[in-house]
Amino acid sequence: MQLEKHLEELYEELGIASFLDDLRESGDTNMWGASPYLVREYAIVNPKLADVFLQKWMEEFKPKD
């Protein structure tokens, strides 16, 4: 639970959602391939963390029950 809270804070602090929104709007990549863009943009984000952040961002687009 502590890790999830820390990841949420890091996601917000780094502005991951805004970065991914901008990347999506740019059309530079299919968003399924956006993880490497996160790794290049944020030095502290490794590929596994990028995948976690990308998955979190994509969940925002799922229909709510």
Interacting residues of 46 by C-beta distance below 8 A, sequence separation 6+: 39
Number of domains in the chain: 1
| Token reading at 3 | 């890790």
51 falls within a domain: yes
65 falls within a domain: no
Segments forming the whole domain that contains residue 30: 2-59
6 falls within a domain: yes
Going by pLDDT thresholds of 50, 70 and 90, the confidence category of residue 14 is very high
Interacting residues of 49 by C-beta distance below 8 A, sequence separation 6+: 7, 38
Question: Mind listing the pLDDT tens digit for each residue in 16-63?
Answer: 999 999 999 999 999 999 999 999 999 999 999 999 999 999 999 888
Give the whole-angstrom CA distance, residue 50 versus residue 64.
Answer: 24
64 falls within a domain: no
